Amino acid sequence: MTEPRQWTLAHGRTLELGGEALIMGILNVTPDSFSDGGRLLSVESAVSAARIMAAEGASIIDVGGESTRPGAEPVSAIEEQRRVLPVIEALAGEDGFVLSIDTYRSETAELAVRAGAHIVNDIFGVQRDPAVATVAANAGAGLILMHTGRGRQKLPDVIADQFFYLRKSIEIAHQAGNRDEQIVLDPGFGFAKEWHEDIEIMARFGELRGLGFPLLVGTSRKRFIGRITEREVGDRDTATAATSTLLRLKGASVFRVHNVAANRDALRIADATLAAER
């Protein structure tokens, strides 16, 4: 169990990490995301979905405009921005929302923060476009650095590769001027990983606390869950909640999920157990 700490975000916001699990609701405004593509293509439908997730217990809404599933067609920065910026602007105009932009492009990150986003969530851990780190530093935004194996040769040991990649991301973030209080790490479940590697990361998750930063996990409906349960994408929420419980007990602080209500209930059980242990 990690000690509670404040996560510093843009626009003067903060969130407490560690004391209770925080849920990040996934808001994909894309036609082709692996689980919910095409469901939220209008600003109105996206805002409505965000309101529901917040009511169910999401502390953060993560807005994404490009599918990051394996084999997805990349979109241009202009198209990504056309999808996400109106949604962020609309949600920023309502009280209470903490907003994250899911992007690896510095231009999109900067425009999203200007529009009201508090957090930048980069699936390449600022290694594809290091200027993302500069955007976060200049805005004082929260910065999620995710591990990925895409486009490179991984080390044989899954945890050694996590340390190798994420330490480089942390170094880039620090060089750009980001403070430790802004940074959260994500082991990147499912991103260029075989299903058995995802399981090993779960089994050895406690070792990642040695990096010294709060940890976010995104197991929701991932392929490794389907491989184990033999269930299709839309029927993996119960198993996702099981992974959330397990990873909470091993030290994760933030949980990026599609089904907020199911994970909220599971995480309340985990938090009650941790509280009793304390």
Residue tagged active-site, from 193, 221, 223, 256:
256
Residue 256 designated active-site? yes
The residue assigned the tokens 């217990």 is 57
Residue tagged active-site, from 222, 223, 236, 264:
222
| CA 89 vs CA 93, 112, 175: distances in Å | 6, 8, 30
In the chain, the amino acid numbered 236 is: R
Residue 32: exposure state from Cβ atoms within 10 A (0-12, 13-18, ≥19): middle
Q: How far apart are CA 221 and CA 259, in angstroms?
A: 9
As annotated, the active-site residues are 222, 256
